[in-house]
C-alpha cells in the first residue's frame, strides 16, 4: 500500500494508527488479542514507511512514538497539584474491623467498600489534555515527583489518546509482570549484570532510565485506580470511577469488587491470598476504600494518608531453612553461578530446596555460609530467594564460602569480564558450555528439535557422539541406538526431528547459535533485513548497529562472533550438512516446512469464504509470493469459481491448482 498523494497518506496514516491502537488495546489493556502478531507487524511496518515519507504527518498517538530512543539528560522535578497520598497499613483482620468501626462512627449511612488488589509496583500520575497524554510523573515524596513522560509513553498499557477528549489527571500503579521480571533477571544473570530483588525494584529501575529504549524493552504495565476530581464527571462511587477509567481506555484491574460488609471483605482477602501466587503480577495485599466518594471529603485525610482507605498487607510468605551446599554451575554463556541447596520447605504452594545466589558479589554481600539458617521467600512469587541469614543461629566455627578460581567443570581459570559481577569460564571447549549451547540450539524457539532435551544431549556428549551443533547432523541410526532406552522407533523419531530442522527459517539457526545479546527477537530482525546468514556474516558493524537502532553493543558482539575462525568453520559445516541459512519469510518461524513458503501463487476467480485481500495477506505472511499472472514460474494457482483464462493457462502448463476449500484446509493445516 503506497500512497500517491499527501492526502491519501494522511488518510492511511490515520487509519493505520486507529487500527494498530485498537489491536494494541485488545492485547495490552484487555489481555484479549484479536490479531496474530504478523498482521500487527505488517500494518506497523506500513505505518513506519508512510511516516518516513511524511514525517510531518506523524500523529501524537502513533504506536511508533512508543519505541523510545530519546536519551534524556535527567529528570525534571514535577510538583503535584494535589499531593499523591500513600496508604495506611494494617496487618490483621482485627485492625480492619477497627478501621471499619471508625468509619461507621463518622458516617450516618452504612459503608460500602471497593476492595482492590494492592499492586506491588510504584505510584504514577498521568495528565491528559483534551484526551491526549501530555505528562506523567512518579510519586516522589508525594509533593514533588519526577517527570518521566517519555518513559511512560513507551508503556503500551498507557493510552496515548483516550476515547473522549477529556482533560484530567489519573493515578495508578506501574508494575512489571512476573514473567517479564523472571525473564529480565535470567537475562541479566547470563549477561553478568546484577539482578533485581523483586518486580517492584525492576519496575522502578526501568522507569528511571535515561535511555527510553531500555524502558521500552522492559514490558512494564499499569493499573489505574484513581481519578482526580471525579465529582466533575458526575461519578459517585469508586466502583463507578473504575468503570469510567476502563471506558476511557485505561487498564484497570478487573479483580476489584464492591463489598457490602466486612464479611465480604474478609472473603475477598482470603480468596486473593490463595489466588495470589497464580496472578501474573505481584500483589502485597488488598486495599479497602470507602466506595461512596462523597464520604471521602467528610472523612478526610491525614497529612500522608487518606482516612477513607486502608491497605491490608499479606503476611510475608517466608520460611526458615538450612543451607547444606553451595553448588557452582556453568551456564551457556560461561557464567559460573552459585546455587544454595537447602533442606526442602513449602513456599507459596511449591516445595523449594534451591535458590540461585546469582553471582559471587551477591553471595559475599549476603554472606551465606554452609549450615547457616536462612530466610527464604519467592521474588515475584516465583523465584526462590534467600532474603537474609539468621545470624543468631549461625554455627560458631563457620567460614565464608570460598569463591572458586577455576571452572568446576573444565578447571580453566575463571575471569571477570569488564566490570561484570559474573564469574565466567571463557574456555570455548568447556564441556559445560558446549552442552548448554547444544541444549539451547535444540530448544523450542531455536531449532525446535523435538526429543532432543538436556538428558539426551548429556548422553550424546558423554558417549562422544557430538562435540558441537554441526555434529548433530552427522548422527546415524546406529549412534542413537547406543543411548539408554533407545529403540528403532525413538531413534527414527529423533533422526527425523533433527533432519527436519535443516529446513528451519534462518532466524532459528541464528538464535540457536547463542551469540551474546542475540535473542529470538533480534535474530528475527537481523534475518528480515539480511535475508541470509551469509550476508550477515559479511556485514559491517555499522550496518548492523544502525538497523532498527540495535546499537553498538549488539553489533560488536555479532561481528566478533562471526570473525572467529572456529565459528566460520562451524557455519561452513552447517551449510555442508544442508542446514538452511536463509530467511524464509514471516511466520515461518513456528511452522516448519510451510506449504506455501517460497512459492509463487496466483489467486483467480471469485472466492466465497475468504476476502481476497485476506487470502493474499495470509499467503504473504506464510512466505508466499502472490503474483498477478500465470507463467511457467508459477507454483500454485488458487481458483475460485468463474475462474477464466488464468485457470486454463495453469491447466495447460501443468501447474498445481487448488480450490478455495483445499486452500482453506491447507491454511488450517499449517496454523
Ligand atoms: S490508592 C489516595 N489503590 O500502594 C489513594 N494504592 O502503600 C492512595 N497501591 O502509594 C492510593 N495498589 O502506590 C491505591 N489499588 C490500589 C493500589 C495502591 C497499589 C500502592 C500505591 C500507594 C501504595 C501505598
- Domain co-membership, 174 together with 230: yes
Within a domain: residue 406? no
Task: Please state whether beta strands 335-347 and 350-356 pair in parallel, antiparallel, or not at all (unpaired).
Answer: antiparallel
CATH code, domain carrying 525: 1.10.150.20
The residue whose CA is least distant from atom 9 of ligand 1 is: 118
Of 82, 83, 86, 87, the residue with max ligand 1 atoms within 8 A of its CB, to mutate for a pocket test, comes to 87
Find the catalytic residue in 42, 78, 118, 435. Answer: 118
pLDDT score at 190: 80
Is 275 among the residues known to form the active site? Answer: no
Set of cell numbers at residue 10: 494522511
Q: Count how many domains the chain has.
A: 4
Q: How far is the CA of 303 from the centre of ligand 1 (A)?
A: 15
Q: Which atom of ligand 1 is nearest to the CA of 301?
A: 2
The residue whose CA is least distant from atom 18 of ligand 1 is: 118
Separation in Å, CA 513 to CA 342, 385, 532, 581: 34, 31, 15, 12
Of 287, 295, 310, the residue with max ligand 1 atoms within 8 A of its CB, to mutate for a pocket test, comes to 287
Mean pLDDT over residues 62-77, rounded? 88
Q: Which atom of ligand 1 is nearest to the CA of 256?
A: 15
Separation in Å, CA 114 to CA 97, 104, 381, 465: 15, 15, 25, 64
- Domain co-membership, 618 together with 542: no
The residue whose CA is least distant from atom 13 of ligand 1 is: 123
Within a domain: residue 297? no
Q: How far is the CA of 115 from the centre of ligand 1 (A)?
A: 12
Which of 539, 555, 585 finishes a domain?
585
Instruction: Indicate if the pLDDT at residue 623 is higher than 80.
Output: no
CATH code, domain carrying 645: 3.40.50.10190
Q: Which atom of ligand 1 is nearest to the CA of 87?
A: 24
The residue whose CA is least distant from atom 10 of ligand 1 is: 86
pLDDT score at 669: 58
pLDDT tens for each residue of 569-611: 999 999 999 999 999 876 544 443 467 877 899 999 888 777 7
- Domain co-membership, 527 together with 606: no
- Domain co-membership, 62 together with 167: no
The residue whose CA is least distant from atom 17 of ligand 1 is: 118
Give the range among 61-70, 192-201, 255-264, 584-593 with minimum mean pLDDT: 584-593
Separation in Å, CA 568 to CA 414, 472, 534, 537, 647: 26, 17, 10, 9, 48
pLDDT tens for each residue of 120-137: 999 999 999 999 999 999
Closest CA relative to residue 412, chosen from 400, 420, 404, 421: 404
Q: How far is the CA of 23 from the centre of ligand 1 (A)?
A: 29
Q: Which atom of ligand 1 is nearest to the CA of 86?
A: 10
Which of 529, 559, 585 finishes a domain?
585
Contacts (Cβ under 8 Å, ≥6 apart) of 458: 435
In angstroms, how far apart are the furthest CA atoms of the chain? 93
Contacts (Cβ under 8 Å, ≥6 apart) of 617: 39, 42
pLDDT score at 307: 95
Q: What are φ and ψ of residue 279, in 5° steps?
A: -70, 150
Q: How far is the CA of 85 from the centre of ligand 1 (A)?
A: 8
- Domain co-membership, 488 together with 620: no
- Greater confidence, 241 or 303? 241
pLDDT score at 594: 60
Which of 253, 268, 288 finishes a domain?
288
Within a domain: residue 333? no
pLDDT score at 597: 77
- Domain co-membership, 560 together with 643: no
pLDDT score at 587: 54
Half-sphere exposure of 333 (CA within 13 A, CB side): 21
Give residue 275's pLDDT band: very low, low, confident or very high (50, 70, 90). Answer: very high
Q: Which atom of ligand 1 is nearest to the CA of 123?
A: 13
pLDDT tens for each residue of 362-377: 999 999 999 999 999 9
pLDDT tens for each residue of 301-335: 988 899 999 999 998 789 999 999 999 999 888 89
Q: How far is the CA of 116 from the centre of ligand 1 (A)?
A: 9
The residue whose CA is least distant from atom 11 of ligand 1 is: 86
Instruction: Indicate if the pLDDT at residue 13 is higher than 50.
Output: yes
Q: Which atom of ligand 1 is nearest to the CA of 89?
A: 7
CATH code, domain carrying 62: 1.10.287.610
- Greater confidence, 355 or 417? 355
The residue whose CA is least distant from atom 16 of ligand 1 is: 118
- Domain co-membership, 51 together with 146: no
Within a domain: residue 330? no
Q: What are φ and ψ of residue 291, in 5° steps?
A: -75, -35
Q: How far is the CA of 195 from the centre of ligand 1 (A)?
A: 26
Tell me the C-alpha distance between 609 and 601, whole Å: 18
Q: How far is the CA of 345 from the centre of ligand 1 (A)?
A: 32
Within a domain: residue 362? no
Average pLDDT, the chain: 91
The residue whose CA is least distant from atom 7 of ligand 1 is: 87
3-state helix, strand, coil in the chain (%, to 5): 40, 20, 40
The residue whose CA is least distant from atom 22 of ligand 1 is: 86
Q: What are φ and ψ of residue 5, in 5° steps?
A: -125, 165
- Domain co-membership, 507 together with 645: no
Q: Which atom of ligand 1 is nearest to the CA of 305?
A: 2
The residue whose CA is least distant from atom 21 of ligand 1 is: 123
Residues lining ligand 1, Cβ inside 6 A: 85-87, 116, 118-119, 123, 173, 225-226, 287, 306, 309, 311
Contacts (Cβ under 8 Å, ≥6 apart) of 367: 389, 400
Within a domain: residue 206? yes
Instruction: Indicate if the pLDDT at residue 628 is higher than 80.
Output: yes
Enumerate the β-bridge partners of residue 114: 258, 289
Enumerate the β-bridge partners of residue 311: 89, 287
Sign of CA dihedral 274, 280, 284, 288: negative
- Domain range holding 34? 6-66
pLDDT tens for each residue of 544-561: 998 877 888 899 989 999
Coil, strand, or helix at residue 292? strand
Within a domain: residue 76? no
CATH code, domain carrying 211: 3.30.470.30
pLDDT tens for each residue of 483-533: 998 999 889 999 999 999 999 999 999 999 999 889 888 999 999 999 999
Q: How far is the CA of 290 from the centre of ligand 1 (A)?
A: 14
pTM above 0.75, yes or no: no
Q: How far is the CA of 464 from the centre of ligand 1 (A)?
A: 58
Of 88, 199, 225, 286, the residue with max ligand 1 atoms within 8 A of its CB, to mutate for a pocket test, comes to 225
Q: How far is the CA of 475 from the centre of ligand 1 (A)?
A: 59
Tell me the C-alpha distance between 650 and 215, whole Å: 53
pLDDT tens for each residue of 102-113: 999 998 889 999
Of 171, 311, 313, 314, the residue with max ligand 1 atoms within 8 A of its CB, to mutate for a pocket test, comes to 311
- Domain co-membership, 220 together with 167: yes
Check residue 429 and report its DSSP letter.
T
pLDDT score at 593: 41
- Domain co-membership, 571 together with 604: no
The residue whose CA is least distant from atom 5 of ligand 1 is: 85
Please, is 192 exposed, middle or buried when counting C-beta atoms within 10 Å of its C-beta (0-12, 13-18, 19+)?
A: buried
Half-sphere exposure of 361 (CA within 13 A, CB side): 11
Separation in Å, CA 290 to CA 85, 112, 236, 310, 540: 16, 6, 11, 9, 62
Q: How far is the CA of 118 from the centre of ligand 1 (A)?
A: 6
Instruction: Indicate if the pLDDT at residue 72 is higher than 70.
Output: yes
Q: Which atom of ligand 1 is nearest to the CA of 120?
A: 19
Q: Which atom of ligand 1 is nearest to the CA of 122?
A: 13
Q: How far is the CA of 307 from the centre of ligand 1 (A)?
A: 13
Coil, strand, or helix at residue 408? coil
- Domain co-membership, 435 together with 575: yes
- Domain co-membership, 27 together with 168: no
pLDDT score at 590: 42
Of 121, 173, 246, 272, the residue with max ligand 1 atoms within 8 A of its CB, to mutate for a pocket test, comes to 173
Other beta carbons less than 10 A from residue 336's beta carbon: 23
Within a domain: residue 279? yes
Instruction: Indicate if the pLDDT at residue 671 is higher than 70.
Output: no
% of the chain beyond a pLDDT of 90: 68
The residue whose CA is least distant from atom 2 of ligand 1 is: 85
Task: Please state whether beta strands 600-604 and 625-627 pair in parallel, antiparallel, or not at all (unpaired).
Answer: parallel
Amino acid at each position: 500500500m503506497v500512497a500517491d498523494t499527501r492526502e491519501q497518506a494522511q488518510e492511511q496514516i490515520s487509519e493505520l494508527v486507529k487500527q494498530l491502537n485498537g489491536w494494541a488495546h485488545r492485547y495490552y489493556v484487555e489481555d484479549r488479542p484479536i490479531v496474530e502478531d504478523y498482521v500487527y507487524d505488517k500494518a506497523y511496518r506500513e505505518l513506519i514507511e508512510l511516516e518516513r515519507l511524511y514525517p510531518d504527518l506523524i500523529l501524537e498517538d502513533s504506536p511508533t512514538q512508543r519505541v523510545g530512543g530519546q536519551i534524556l539528560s535527567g529528570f525534571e522535578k514535577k510538583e503535584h497539584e494535589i499531593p499523591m497520598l500513600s496508604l495506611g497499613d494494617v496487618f490483621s483482620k482485627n485492625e480492619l474491623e477497627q478501621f471499619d468501626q471508625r468509619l461507621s462512627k463518622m458516617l450516618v449511612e452504612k459503608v460500602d467498600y471497593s476492595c482492590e488488589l494492592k499492586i506491588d509496583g510504584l505510584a504514577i500520575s498521568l495528565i491528559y489534555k483534551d484526551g491526549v497524554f501530555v505528562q506523567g510523573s512518579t510519586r516522589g515524596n508525594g509533593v514533588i515527583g519526577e517527570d518521566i513522560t517519555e518513559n511512560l509513553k513507551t508503556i503500551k498499557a498507557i493510552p496515548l489518546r483516550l476515547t473522549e477528549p477529556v482533560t484530567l489527571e489519573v493515578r495508578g500503579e506501574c508494575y512489571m509482570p512476573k514473567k517479564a521480571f523472571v525473564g529480565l533477571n535470567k537475562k541479566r544473570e547470563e549477561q553478568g549484570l546484577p539482578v533485581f530483588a523483586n518486580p517492584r525494584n525492576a519496575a522502578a529501575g526501568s522507569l528511571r532510565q535515561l535511555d527510553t529504549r531500555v524502558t521500552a524493552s522492559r514490558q512494564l504495565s499499569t493499573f489505574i485506580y484513581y481519578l482526580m476530581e471525579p465529582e466533575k464527571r458526575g461519578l459517585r462511587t469508586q466502583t463507578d470511577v473504575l468503570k469510567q477509567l476502563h471506558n476511557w481506555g485505561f487498564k484497570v484491574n478487573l479483580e476489584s469488587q464492591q463489598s457490602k460488609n466486612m464479611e465480604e471483605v474478609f472473603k475477598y482477602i482470603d480468596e486473593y491470598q490463595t489466588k495470589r501466587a497464580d496472578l501474573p503480577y505481584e500483589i502485597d495485599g488488598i486495599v479497602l476504600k470507602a466506595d461512596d466518594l462523597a464520604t471521602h471529603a467528610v472523612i478526610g485525610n491525614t497529612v500522608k494518608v487518606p482516612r477513607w482507605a486502608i491497605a491490608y498487607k499479606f503476611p510475608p510468605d517466608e520460611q526458615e531453612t538450612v543451607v547444606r551446599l553451595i553448588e557452582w554451575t556453568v551456564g551457556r554463556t560461561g557464567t559460573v553461578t552459585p546455587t544454595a541447596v537447602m533442606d526442602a520447605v513449602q513456599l507459596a504452594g511449591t516445595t523449594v530446596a534451591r535458590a540461585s545466589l546469582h553471582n559471587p558479589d551477591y553471595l559475599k554481600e549476603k554472606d551465606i555460609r554452609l549450615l547457616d539458617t536462612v530466610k527464604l521467600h519467592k521474588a515475584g512469587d516465583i523465584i526462590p530467594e534467600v532474603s537474609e541469614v539468621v545470624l543468631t543461629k549461625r554455627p560458631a566455627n563457620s567460614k565464608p564460602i570460598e569463591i572458586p578460581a577455576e571452572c568446576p567443570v573444565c578447571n580453566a581459570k575463571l575471569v571477570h569480564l569488564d566490570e561484570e559481577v559474573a564469574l565466567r569460564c571463557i574456555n570455548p571447549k568447556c564441556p559445560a558450555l558446549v552442552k548448554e549451547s547444544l541444549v539451547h540450539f535444540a530448544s523450542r524457539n531455536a531449532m525446535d528439535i523435538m526429543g532432543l532435551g538436556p538428558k539426551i544431549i548429556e548422553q550424546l556428549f558423554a558417549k562422544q557422539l557430538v562435540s558441537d551443533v554441526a555434529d548433530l547432523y552427522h548422527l546415524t541410526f546406529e549412534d542413537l541406538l547406543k543411548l539408554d532406552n533407545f529403540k528403532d522407533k525413538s531413534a527414527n523419531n529423533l533422526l527425523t526431528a533433527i533432519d527436519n530442522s535443516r529446513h528451519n527459517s534462518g532466524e532459528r539457526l541464528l538464535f540457536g547459535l547463542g551469540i551474546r545479546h542475540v535473542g529470538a527477537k533480534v535474530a528475527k530482525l537481523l534475518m528480515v533485513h539480511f535475508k541470509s546468514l551469509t550476508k550477515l556474516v559479511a556485514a559491517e558493524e555499522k550496518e548492523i548497529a544502525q538497523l532498527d537502532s540495535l546499537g553498538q553493543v549488539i553489533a560488536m558482539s555479532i561481528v566478533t562472533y562471526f570473525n572467529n575462525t572456529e565459528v566460520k568453520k562451524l557455519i561452513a559445516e552447517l551449510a555442508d550438512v544442508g542446514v538452511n541459512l536463509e530467511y524464509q519469510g514471516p511466520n515461518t518461524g513456528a511452522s516448519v516446512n510451510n506449504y506455501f513458503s517460497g512459492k509463487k501463487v496466483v489467486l483467480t476467480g471469485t472466492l466465497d469464504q475468504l476476502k481476497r485481500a485476506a487470502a493474499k495477506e495470509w499467503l504473504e505472511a506464510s512466505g508466499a509470493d502472490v503474483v498477478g499472472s500465470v507463467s511457467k514460474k508459477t507454483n500454485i494457482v488458487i481458483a475460485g469459481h468463474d475462474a477464466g483464462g488464468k485457470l486454463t493457462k495453469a491447466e495447460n502448463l501443468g501447474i498445481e491448482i487448488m480450490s478455495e476449500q483445499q486452500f482453506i484446509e491447507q491454511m488450517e493445516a499449517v496454523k
